[in-house]
Structure 1
Amino acid sequence: MPIDRCFWLFPFFIPIFLSLAPAIAQTLDPLPVREIAPGVYAYEGAIALMDHANEGAIANIGFIVGDDAVAVVDTGGSALEGQRLREAIRKITDKPIRYVINTHEHPDHVFGNAAFEAKDATFVGHKNLPRALAQRKEFYLQAFKPMIGDDLIKDVKIIPPTLLVDIGKDKETRLDLGHRTLVLRAWPVMHTDCDLTVLDEKTATLFTGDLVFFQHVPVVDGSLKGWLAAMDELTAIPAKLAVPGHGKIGLDWPQALADERAYLTKLTKDLRGLIAKGDDVGQAAKEAGQSEAKNWQLFNDYNPRNATAGFAELEWE
């Protein structure tokens, strides 16, 4: 048929094109996850501050596939990253996403939750997580808007967990994915006051959340003393492989903790020495932990605030 005689068909095709447009627009590249153990997938976030260029994708996140269902462990630093994580899951399996586990309240771990809100998944977290999210919700949305941009923040929803895990080894929660059990443990105040770890018993793979940092300098938003005090309990978790909250994924356990323990120990020792000399918090922010600078990325972004928080905690010992 001559081209000029086909023009009359265009009105019939326009509704079809319009109906397909949303589907085309919603097609996203799956997040590039890696299978680090059978059925255990993780994405290694950038060691960087959240910004528009990295789409907030700076935390390590992942998912675990059982015979019957899937559990997500953290959802990333933007709704877009959460959507890309969902696409990665669907590329690998069509099993239902039964659980969305948040390891703590920080935006780089929870801003992607909205991607899983309508999927009949149960959101899971530390018993303190709903309160922490409620207290910081407005601050997070306002503070991170200029960092990641309006387009990445507009679809973010702060979704609290409904299945809560109490603190302590004797209060562990077990989730069944079908011949695959996850052991969730809530911790006392450490990195934050709502830290949770996730152990896949089948492969002895541990998602530590931000209780473990590797390469990225640790961030103290809870208790320096509490974090150090719980180190031995952390090392006792019967894992072989670890996914830290930041840095290289698939680390040997418990060796993955060694660098972090050294940093926190040195920072604490320096702060106590400065306090004993009568130095103020400003001096502590400049000096404490400086010998560790060569071992960590983003050191100057976070060490001064760690020193400031630690000083406030230790000066009244």
Structure 2
Amino acid sequence: MRWFGLLCGMALSFAAQCAPLLKVEQVAPGIYLHLSEHHWPDRENHGEIANIGFIVGDRCVAVIDSGGSPQQGIALRNAIKQATAKPVCYVINTHVHPDHIYGNRAFKEPGVQFVGHHKLARAMAARGDHYLSRAAELLDIHVNRDNIIPPDLQVKQTMTLNLGNRELLLTAHSSAHTDNDLSVYDKTTDTLWLADLLFLEHIPVVDGSIKGWLAELEKLEKNNYKLVIPGHGRLVRDWPAAMLPQKTYLSELVTEIRAMVKQGKTLEQAVEQVGLAAKKRWQLFEQFHRKNVTTAFAELEWED
């Protein structure tokens, strides 16, 4: 697999030799990130398409999303062991999508608590069977219910986790990318891990509420952060400027769909006509744009 190296050595046990090791970079003190490329999830990349990583405190480690396959979860776990001797105490799933949760099982052991939005468990229960039924065919991975682990700690508004002289502020957002989005703010380095609330280069994917997403962005852009980590795309050191392409795309969809609804146009017409000017600005446009229009149309068609 192209995304990991090999952890080998004479001093290691045979079982540990040549174990998968996820490539991570320390992007700020104690913050380690695996930056993924933009791909449609398939049998070649096994759904390993999201930015994932971990944060190290004086006492323990918090994983931020566990990866798109059980194998990537193992590789992430091995990368943590190479970076620090401190144990993992939290696995934070930022939302329900498979590229963020399928590595969970690698961290299921005593002392580890899983953390997520208060709607995450419900979303896992509702989507789990469908996700699992398609994983082998679409991603060439083998998963079962043991790979979809609901949160032990549920964030209803905000929650603070202390890793030992390092506090993480978790925020449960209103429906946006999904209805179970969670962000993680590291006070020590002024880093906001936004996950899929922020897409760069990769077209944003609407699976919750387009109006809610714009509302969350309006709140977030009022703040300044030294570093912002998106779920898909490069590291952001120019917040909120880096967010503007996403906001523009979502705003354009809302404006155009509202106009079509007012004119009595159908969903089918909207799918064929809305947002086409944005095609050259986004990777994976063909794969996700029509779905975005469909989801947004269903929401905007019935607004007051």
- TM-score, L = length of structure 1: 0.88
* Superposed CA offset, 1:193-249 (max 9, x none): 100000110001111011111111001110011111222212234422111011113
1:274 corresponds to 2:265: no
1:177 corresponds to 2:163: yes
* Superposed CA offset, 1:282-304 (max 9, x none): 11111111111111000111110
1:38 corresponds to 2:26: no
SS of equivalent to 1:45 = coil
- Code of the residue aligned with 1:158 in structure 2: it is I
Alignment of 1:201-240 (within 5 A): 201-240=187-226
Give 1:29 shift: 2.8
Q: Choose the corresponding residue for 1:136, options 127, 140, 145.
A: 127
Question: Which residue does 1:153 correspond to in 2?
Answer: 143
- Code of the residue aligned with 1:226 in structure 2: it is G
Question: Which residue does 1:90 correspond to in 2?
Answer: 81
Question: Which residue does 1:77 correspond to in 2?
Answer: 68
**How far apart, in 2, do the equivalents of 1:72 and 1:314 lie?**
36
SS of equivalent to 1:153 = coil
Alignment of 1:191-206 (within 5 A): 191-206=177-192
The answer for unaligned runs of 5 or more in structure 2 is 1-12
Q: Choose the corresponding residue for 1:162, options 152, 162, 165.
A: 152
Change (3 A) 1:21 1:179: closer
Change (3 A) 1:85 1:237: farther
Moved more, 226-235 or 78-87: 226-235
**How far apart, in 1, do the equivalents of 2:36 and 2:47 lie?**
9
Q: Choose the corresponding residue for 2:286, options 284, 295, 300.
A: 300
Question: Which residue does 1:52 correspond to in 2?
Answer: 43
**How far apart, in 2, do the equivalents of 1:161 and 1:237 lie?**
28
**How far apart, in 2, do the equivalents of 1:123 and 1:99 lie?**
6
**How far apart, in 2, do the equivalents of 1:250 and 1:270 lie?**
29
Percent identity among equivalent residues? 45
SS of equivalent to 2:21 = coil
* Superposed CA offset, 1:120-158 (max 9, x none): 2110000010111011110111122211114x4369610
Q: Choose the corresponding residue for 1:289, options 266, 271, 275.
A: 275
- TM-score, L = length of structure 2: 0.92
Q: Choose the corresponding residue for 1:61, options 52, 71, 75.
A: 52
Q: Choose the corresponding residue for 2:105, options 114, 117, 120.
A: 114
- Code of the residue aligned with 2:149 in structure 1: it is I
- Code of the residue aligned with 2:82 in structure 1: it is K
**How far apart, in 2, do the equivalents of 1:276 and 1:162 lie?**
45
Q: Which runs of 4+ in 1 moved over 3 A?
A: 20-24, 152-156
Q: Choose the corresponding residue for 2:117, options 114, 118, 126.
A: 126
Give 1:250 shift: 4.2
User: Conserved in 1, the CA contact under 8 Å of 2:236 and 2:242?
Assistant: no
Question: Which residue does 2:300 correspond to in 1?
Answer: 314
Give 1:52 shift: 2.5
**How far apart, in 2, do the equivalents of 1:277 and 1:155 lie?**
46
Question: Which residue does 2:9 correspond to in 1?
Answer: none
- Code of the residue aligned with 2:206 in structure 1: it is V
Larger radius of gyration: 1
**How far apart, in 1, do the equivalents of 2:260 and 2:279 lie?**
18
**How far apart, in 2, do the equivalents of 1:181 and 1:99 lie?**
13
**How far apart, in 2, do the equivalents of 1:66 and 1:23 lie?**
25
User: Conserved in 1, the CA contact under 8 Å of 2:94 and 2:116?
Assistant: yes
Moved more, 224-233 or 204-213: 224-233
Moved more, 43-52 or 202-211: 43-52
User: Conserved in 2, the CA contact under 8 Å of 1:55 and 1:81?
Assistant: no
User: What count of residue pairs does the alignment treat as equivalent?
Assistant: 291
User: Conserved in 1, the CA contact under 8 Å of 2:128 and 2:145?
Assistant: no
Question: Which residue does 2:6 correspond to in 1?
Answer: none
The answer for unaligned runs of 5 or more in structure 1 is 1-19
User: Conserved in 2, the CA contact under 8 Å of 1:98 and 1:120?
Assistant: yes
SS of equivalent to 2:47 = coil
Structure that is richer in helix per residue: 1
